[in-house]
Amino acid sequence: MRVQEIPRAEFLGNYFDYRPGEHVNIIAPTGAGKSHFLYQLTERAMAEYPALRVCSLMPKPSDSTTESWAHNLGLAETPVWPPKRHFWEPEPAGHVLWPRHIKDDEARNRAHIGDQFRHAVNDLYWQGSSLTFADDSYLIGVIYGLNSELDRHWIAGRSNNASLFTSLQKPSGTLQGAVSSFAYDSPTHMFFGRDNDERNLRRISEIGLSQIDPDQIKSVVRNLRVHRIGNSAVSEMLYLDRRGPYTAIIGI
């Protein structure tokens, strides 16, 4: 397998061939540029399919990458779902669902955030023609309890044109909860950032695309280049397009 290198702008402009109902998953360590890239992919999808209902689920109390992209893409922030509407405001291009965190009561916090996310994910799934952006699917699935809703999207979203775009830091999850195998088997578009943890590499290489050699996936992912940007080590991404399968390294 020869892995071609494609600059990011060229990939976004010419090669990212997203169709409604397809899923995306980006797996990379913290600070590798997952959120930024997932928003870039979402921006392309929105440009091509302006009628898509877009909602980004934000499980962290704050995230500057999400704040600036919400602004860029015209996504209105809402702390609850469904969002409150004012008749004098134009319909936004989409939403960021950013529930308020309850600091001193973790059980109530989990229940409250989980409920808001569940309302939105159900809505987006049943109405279809949607793009659910679940940034950090471990937090959303395991900590806030939406694993079965995410699985339903992975498995059956395609037939409703309900896409799931997610990111993940650790490919296997933790002792608190495992990452669903559907997060590997269902996305048409998979991206991996540089990782040199042997366990993570093993999981990534088991993606099960028969024409692609697991050892080669490991060695490409281990050797992806990173750029230091502020405090972050932003990574090139290995792209696997399940339809081919095709592979490429996407620049920063």
Ligand X SMILES: Nc1ncnc2c1ncn2[C@@H]1O[C@H](COP(=O)(O)OP(=O)(O)OP(=O)(O)O)[C@@H](O)[C@H]1O
The contact mask relative to ligand X for 163-202 (x = CB under 6 A, - = no) is ------x---------------------------------
Tokens of 239: 């792209």
Burial of 216 (0-12, 13-18, 19+ CB in 10 A): middle
Residue 35 in contact with Mg ion, rule: CB under 5 A: yes
Sign of CA dihedral 167, 173, 176, 178: positive
Q: Which of 30, 181, 219, 223 binds ligand X (CB under 6 A)?
A: 30
Q: Which of 20, 21, 31, 173 binds ligand X (CB under 6 A)?
A: 31
Cα(139)–Cα(169) distance, integer angstroms:
10
Evaluate whether 41 touches 12 at the Cβ level (below 8 Å).
Answer: yes
Cα(237)–Cα(226) distance, integer angstroms:
9
Residue 200 in contact with Mg ion, rule: CB under 5 A: no
Evaluate whether 236 touches 4 at the Cβ level (below 8 Å).
Answer: no
Contacted entry of Mg ion, ligand X, none for residue 229, CB cut-off 5 to 8 Å set by kind = ligand X
Contacted entry of ligand X, Mg ion, none for residue 32, CB cut-off 5 to 8 Å set by kind = ligand X
Tell which positions 217-236 bind ligand X, by CB under 6 A. Answer: 229-230, 232, 234
Strands 4-6 and 177-178: unpaired
Report the interhelical angle of 198-205 vs 214-222 (nearest 10°): 140
Judged by beta carbon, residue 209 or residue 224, the one nearer Mg ion is 224
User: Per CB under 5 A, which region of 12-20, 29-37, 168-176, 179-187 contacts Mg ion?
Assistant: 29-37
What is the smallest separation between the CB atom of 64 and ligand X, expressed in angstroms? Answer: 6
Number of residues that bind Mg ion (CB under 5 A): 1
Nearest to residue 157, comparing CAs of 12, 51, 16, 24?
Answer: 24
Cα(161)–Cα(125) distance, integer angstroms:
8
What is the smallest separation between the CB atom of 233 and ligand X, expressed in angstroms? Answer: 9
Residue 67 in contact with ligand X, rule: CB under 6 A: no
Contacted entry of Mg ion, ligand X, none for residue 33, CB cut-off 5 to 8 Å set by kind = ligand X
- Interacting residues with ligand X (CB under 6 A): 28, 30-36, 65, 169, 229-230, 232, 234, 252
Query: What is the binding site for Mg ion (CB under 5 A)?
Result: 35
